[in-house]
Amino acid sequence: MAVGHAEGPGQNLLLTRLEDVISWARSNSLWPLTFGTSCCAIEMMMASGASHHDLARFGAEVTRPSPRQADLLIVAGTIVKRMAQPLRTLYEQMPEPRYVIATGACVISGGPFIYHSYSSLRGVDDVIPVDVYVPGCPPRPEGLFYGILTLQRMIRERAGLKHPEERRAPVTAALPEGITKQEIQAEMLELFEAQGRRNVHEEYRRTVSDPGAKGAYPGRGERG
Amino acid sequence: MKKAVRGHAPDADALKERDQDLLQLLQSLLGDEIQSHRHGMDMLELVIRPESASSVSRLLRDSEGLEFDYLMDQTAVDWLGRREIRFEVVYHFYSTKHNRYLRCLAPVPESRPEVSSLYELYKAADWYEREIHEMYGIRFAGHHDMRKLLMYDGFKGYPLRKDYSMKGRQPLIGPGSRQES
């Protein structure tokens, strides 16, 4: 946000564009629609409802039971073809500007149902436009947070007040700059270890070195 | 090598003995309606004619000593290429009074895929039969509402039939949808 600052005698002034202020406010008060169809929705509830992760930090915890009060649609879970029309109707009922986050493999591409399913949608972007894709099966709450933060940045930087419906190229919730995948993996392993009270590092290393070994990560030999 | 047996599968002879009086009762009540019977691995199985499924079920439900008052499950099997009569509708009955199970099988030919409906007897049959009709294309005579249950209205074909094309893609219908490739 472009901000100018001026001080006169006995007063403080903040100079900015109205559009920037509104985008800033809008990005910090996203109201998601209460909509979930399968396991990703459990993870979404974990993120938005449970106190451990506390979505309220980012101003997006007020899930609305009516599409007319919501401006963020988090599509969480497999969308079957029968559900496609109600989903589109929900999207149409939301007031503009409206944003869509697609979480999980099923919503992005069809996931495990991509091959021979007669009933599942292969990617929700067949039906509604998607702003942010969050990969995972399902993504952890942190993943969803990153998707929401990405959307917030998008709203602040690019979505204009004058053109709220102008669609930009969808973004994938990519890795933050300067952080590698290996670092995230190591951190996740540590988290698992802290929760499960077992040495996951060691088990992981053993599985990698000896695929036949038994442990938390079944090697190929074990699966046959 | 010993053949693997599922969890708590009871002994076959014990099952036969347990179901002996049930079978006698059924034979005396149903008579010719029973085309054949078999002691399955978990319960007694009767083969009945599809057009008499409703009347047989009424007897099963209302006769003294049987009282099969609970339709646990109703589904169908497609025996394409394996049997002469292609389809088979499967009923699972349970008697809460006598704690007894019974399975009825109704072979349905492809040329005339029609079974009499159990909707009037068991309300549970309502959605079972709608699903079977949608997935296998078997009609239920006497059912009040044969609309699709799980798929959308424009869907063509019967997806659980063995000859339904696995790679077949149907266009999505409705507002804003684009053709699926």
Q: What is the mean pLDDT of residues B10-24?
A: 85
More confident residue, B93 or B153: B93
A118–B168 CB contact, under 8 Å: yes
Are A162 and A193 part of one and the same domain?
no
Contact A74, A97 (CB under 8 A): no
CA dist., res. A23 & res. A154, Å (int):
10
Structural domain count, chain A: 2
Please, which residues have CB within 8 angstroms of residue A7's CB and are 6 or more apart in sequence?
A13
> Which of B151, B164, B167 comes nearest A82 by C-beta?
B151
Nearest in space to A134 (alpha carbons), one of A80, A174, A98: A174
Same domain, A28 and A125: yes
Mean pLDDT (10-residue bins), chain A, 224 residues: 62 74 86 89 85 83 89 91 87 88 90 83 84 89 89 75 49 62 70 56 64 50 39
Identity of the residue numbered A198: R
Q: Are residues A128 and A206 in the same domain?
A: no
Nearest CB among A89, A119, A122 relative to B180 is that of A122
Instruction: Give chain A positions within 8 Å (CB) of B170.
Output: 118
**CATH superfamily to which B33-141 belongs:** NADH:ubiquinone oxidoreductase Nqo5 subunit (3.30.460.80)
Range of the domain at A190: 181-219
> Does the beta-carbon distance from A126 to B180 stay under 8 Å?
yes
Q: Which residues contact A173 (CB under 8 A, 6 or more apart)?
A: A132, A133, A134, A135, A143, A146, A147, A150
Whether B167 and A81 lie within 8 Å, measured CB to CB: no
* CATH code for the domain in which residue A151 is found: 3.40.50.12280
Q: What is the rounded average pLDDT of the residues B6-31?
A: 82
Residue B10 distance to chain A (closest CA, Å): 30
pLDDT of residue A10: 64
> Do A151 and A214 fall within a single domain?
no
ipTM value > 0.95 = no
A57 and A113 both lie in a single domain: yes
Of the pLDDT bands very low, low, confident and very high (cuts 50, 70, 90), residue B87 is very high
- A32 found inside a domain: yes
CA distances in angstroms from A87 to A36, A147, B176, listed in the order given = 11, 20, 11
Chain A residues within 8 A of B180 when measuring between CB atoms:
122, 126
Average pLDDT, chain B: 86
- As given in the structure block, the two tokens for residue A192 are 């698992």
- As a whole number of angstroms, the distance between CA A65 and CA B138 comes to 39
Q: Is A153 on the interface with B (CB under 8 A)?
A: no
If asked whether residues A72 and A167 sit together in one domain, one would say yes
Give the phi and the psi of residue B132 in degrees, each rounded to 5: -60, -40
Asked if residue A157 and residue A134 are part of one domain, the reply reads yes
The upper half-sphere exposure of residue B79, i.e. CA atoms within 13 Å in the direction of its Cβ, equals 15
The answer to whether A47 and A139 have CB atoms below 8 angstroms apart is no
B152:A128 CB<8 A: no
Residues 6 or more apart in contact with residue A32 via CB below 8 angstroms: A48, A60, A62, A63, A64, A70, A72, A73, A74
Of B68, B9, B76, B3, nearest in space to B42 by CA: B9
Across the interface, which of A89, A116, A126 has its CB nearest the CB of B172?
Answer: A126
Does residue A30 belong to any structural domain of this protein? yes
User: What's the pLDDT score for residue A206?
Assistant: 66
